[in-house]
């Protein structure tokens, strides 16, 4: 998007945010809806301050963040390992791909209750759900990325008697990094959804739990606070991946 010198992008973002809040306030005023259906920006702000002051927001956010990070690491770890093996072995891919594709036909939301029954309503079930939802896009991008390695560079590496490990670390990894990061960006966003889906099924803590608590108690301002925190979390995660990508790419 072209931006002029006089209007830096960050300023533009802040302005549009202010406009959205202003519009929200107008809608609340004009519609006259009760606070438990549509709270005003000011109500949400006060609720945020309260949740920050009593430490509840920080606690639930950190629980969800831990679930997300563990799930992300596990999902990315398994997906890249398996993806690499599948990329290197067409036979293995032929055997496994029907199962992998079929597994994608089942929405994670549908099996989330099962996982909570099997693994309990603690952190483990959320981590697993999170890992599952992250798994597929990272897997696919790993396979595509590794296969995108120019064949002539394999010849170069082999003519220099490179070991398998050197071929992986100095050729395949850097060659597939851009595509791998594409998968990681999708995975980072999905991981937030995974953790929340798990928490909404059954949980004692976390932002999903907070969301549901607010809902039960007609504390709609709290629901808004939880949603905005989730958005912030997802954006930060995405931003972290983008930063990481920038650091690694030339």
Partner 1 sequence: MPSKFALTVKNLSVVYPDNNGGLRALDDISFNVRHREFLCFLGPSGSGKTTLLRVLAGLLNPSNGQAHFHHQHPKIGMVFQQANLMAWRTVIENIKLPLELEGMDAARSRAKASEMIELVGLNGFEDALPRELSGGMAQRVAIARALIHDPDLLLLDEPFASLDALTRERMWNELSQIWQTTKKTVIMVTHSINESLFLADRVIVLTSRPGKIKIDVGVDLPRPRKEDIRYTPHFGKLARTLRETIK
Contact residues toward partner 1 (CB under 8 A) are 150, 152-153, 155-162, 166, 170-171, 174-175, 177, 249-250
Tokens of 154: 């394999």
Backbone angles phi, psi at 131, to 5 degrees: -60, -40
**Least gap, CB of 91 to partner 1 (angstroms):** 18
Q: Select 122 or 174, whichever has its Cβ closest to partner 1.
A: 174
Q: Which is nearer to partner 1, 6 or 250 (CB)?
A: 250
Of 55 and 151, which has the nearer Cβ to partner 1?
151
Distances (CA, A) of 165 to 47, 82, 170, 171, 221: 54, 16, 8, 10, 54
The minimum distance between CB 175 and partner 1, in angstroms, equals 7
Identify which of residues 4 and 159 has a Cβ nearer to partner 1 in the complex: 159
Q: Supply the minimum distance, in Å, between the C-beta of residue 153 and partner 1.
A: 6
The three-state DSSP-derived secondary structure of the chain is CCCCCCCCHHHHHHHHHHHHHHHHHHHHHHHCCCCCCCCCHHHHHHHHHHHHHCCHHHHHHHHHHHHHHHHHHHHHHHHHHHHHHHHHCHHHHHHHHHHHHHHHHCCHHHHHHHHHHHHCCCHHHHHHHHHHHHHHHHHHHHHHHHHCCCHHHHHHHHHCCCCHHHHHHHHHHHHHHHHHHHHHHHHHHHHHHHHHHHHHHCCCCCHHHHHHHHHHCCCHHHHHHHHHHHHHHHHHHHHHHHHHHHHHCC
Q: How far is the CB of 243 from partner 1 (least distance, A)?
A: 18
Smallest gap, in angstroms, from Cβ of residue 2 to partner 1? 25
In the complex with partner 1, the residue whose CB is nearer, 172 or 205, is 172
Residue 120 or 150 with smaller CB distance to partner 1? 150
* Nearest distance from C-beta of residue 247 to partner 1, angstroms: 13
CB of 7 to partner 1, least distance (A): 32
Nearer to partner 1, 172 or 219 (CB): 172
For residue 210, what are its two tokens?
A: 């907070």
């Amino acid at each position: 998007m072209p931006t002029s010198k006089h209007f830096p992008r960050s300023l533009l973002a802040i302005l549009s945010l202010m406009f959205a809040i202003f519009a929200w306030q107008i809608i609340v005023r004009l519609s006259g809806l009760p606070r438990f259906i549509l709270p005003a920006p000011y109500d949400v702000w006060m609720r945020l301050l309260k949740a920050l002051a009593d430490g509840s927001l920080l606690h639930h956010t950190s629980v969800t963040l831990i679930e997300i990070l563990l799930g992300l690491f596990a999902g990315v770890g398994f997906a890249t390992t398996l993806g690499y093996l599948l990329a290197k072995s067409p036979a293995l891919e032929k055997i496994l791909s029907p199962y992998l594709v079929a597994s994608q036909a089942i929405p994670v939301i549908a099996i989330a209750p099962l996982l909570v029954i099997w693994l309990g309503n603690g952190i483990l079930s959320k981590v697993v759900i999170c890992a599952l939802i992250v798994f597929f896009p990272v897997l696919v991008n790993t396979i595509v990325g590794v296969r995108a390695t120019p064949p002539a560079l394999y010849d170069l590496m082999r003519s220099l008697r490179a070991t398998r490990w050197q071929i992986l670390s100095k050729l395949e990894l850097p060659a597939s990094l851009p595509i791998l990061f594409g998968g990681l960006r999708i995975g980072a966003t999905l991981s937030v959804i995974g953790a929340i889906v798990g928490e909404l099924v059954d949980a004692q803590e976390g932002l999903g739990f907070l969301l549901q608590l607010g809902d039960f108690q007609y504390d709609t301002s709290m629901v808004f606070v939880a949603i905005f925190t989730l958005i912030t979390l997802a954006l930060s995660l995405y931003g972290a991946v983008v930063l990481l990508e920038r650091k690694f790419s030339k």
